[in-house]
Structures are given as C-alpha cells and as structure tokens.
Amino acid sequence: MKALVFDTGPLISLSLNNLLVLLPKLRDRYKGDFFITPGVRREAIERPIESKRFKFEALQVLKQLHTAILKMYENNELKDKTLNLLNLANSIFKAHDNYIKIVHYTETEVIQSCLDMNAEAVVIDEFITRQLIENPEKVKERLEKKLHLPIYTDENNLKKFQEITKGIKVIRSVELVTIAFELGLLDEFALDIPEPRKTLLDGLLWGVKLNGCSVSQREIERIIKIENSK
C-alpha cells in the first residue's frame, strides 16, 4: 500500500518548526496516504490540547486530521498485536539479567500498523526504535555507553523481531524536510542573503534536530554538501 505511518515525534518536530503546512504538498507529490494511529492521536492531539505549552501545536496536527491530510488507522486487533510486538522488542537486551525497556507503546503501534497495511514506510525520529529495525548493534552500543554496563543480547528474541519487521523502511523528519527542500516547496525562504539555499537548508535541518529528530551534525553537514553539489 502506498502509505506512510507517522509517529508522534515527527509531527511535533514539524509543528514546532511551522512546517506542518508541508504535509499536503508532500502528500500530493507522493500520491499516497499519510496515516496516524490511536496512540499518536493521544500523544500529538488529545493530551497536549489540554495543556498550556503545546496546545497550538496540537491544533495544527488536528487540522491535518480534520482535512484528511492525515488519516486514522484503526482495527480491532491492533492493540493486542502491538502489545505482543512491544513485549518482544523489550525482551531483546538485558543488563544484570533484567530486560531493558527500549521502545514505547505508540512507536510499536506505528510499526504494527505499517505491517498490517503493508505500508511503504514508518516516519520515526527516535534513535532507538529506528536502529532496532535497521541496525540493532547500534542500540546495544548506545545502551552500554549510557548505562556503563555490559549488555546481553537475547539473540532468539532479536531474530524473531527482525523476522517480523523485515522490509520495514524508516524515514525521519530530516528526510521529509530535505525532500521538501529538493522539490522547491520552501523556496520562498531562500531570501537575498549570502548562500540563501544553503542557509535555508541548514536552518531546516537544525530546526528538526533541535526539536527531537535523531540526526547527527555530521549527517547534517553531509546532506548540505550533497545538496549544494547538485
């Protein structure tokens, strides 16, 4: 199915950078559907709309849902499937014979929804969840560095998780804004300053990084170099 399933993080990152307006244009170019899950709706709309700090960001996401730029994915089996996958993901790495909780319900729900729909990709900014799918060894390295402990990998559970999630593609908000930049969707901000397009791209990439997207400074520099060479 030609569809992307969004986690909470990228929506928050885009809203905090005033970039949610890109979604209709990106969806039109993509010629597919953008979905969120019940957990994402709770985290990106229902809870923050009751707060003071993130109320307006929640309203921005809600507008995308009301105008059907974002669609809801729900089915009766989603919760049970998500809980099973969540339990498996959190039974992969151990420290002192205790499994370490590394992923959360909503991220897992997004992955499970992608599997159910056979969607093209998930949009997730969080490092651990993305690397658990793409490169689990990096997750182990991150945990050992953070906890200052040797980490044991349950290879059997890891293999089961990899078999289930095999073929899932993960993209981040940094890729979304780079695509928007390439398509010229933000050219109105390439103003009369030195190196306007380089400055614009630098602002976009650092904007999403500082609002939660897992992207290194080295990656940002590499993206800018590539885009400037085109």
pLDDT tens-digit series, residues 189-227: 888 888 899 999 999 999 999 998 999 999 999 999 998
Tens of pLDDT, residue by residue over 38-65, are 999 999 999 999 988 889 999 999 999 9
Dihedral sign for Cα atoms in the order 173, 78, 54, 19:
positive
Check: pTM over 0.75? Answer yes or no: yes
Q: Is the pLDDT of residue 77 over 80?
A: yes
Q: Measured in whole angstroms, how far is the alpha carbon of residue 60 from the centre of its chain?
A: 18
pLDDT at position 1 is 82
Q: pLDDT for 104-136, tens place per residue?
A: 999 999 999 999 999 999 999 999 999 999 999
pLDDT category of residue 148 using cuts at 50, 70 and 90: very high
The model's pLDDT over 4-37, given as tens digits with 9 standing for 90+, comes to 999 999 999 999 999 999 999 999 999 999 999 9
In this structure, are residues 30 and 4 in contact, taking their beta carbons and an 8 Å threshold? Answer: yes
Q: Strand pairing partners for 94?
A: 99, 152
pLDDT band per the 50, 70, 90 thresholds, residue 101:
very high
Query: For residue 203, what are the contacts with CB-CB under 8 A and spacing of at least 6?
Result: 189
* Domain extents in the chain: 3-72, 78-104+127-171, 173-228
Matching residue, tokens 């109320």: 55
Q: In the numeric block, which tokens belong to residue 43? A: 């985290």
Length of the chain: 230
Amino acid, res. 101: K
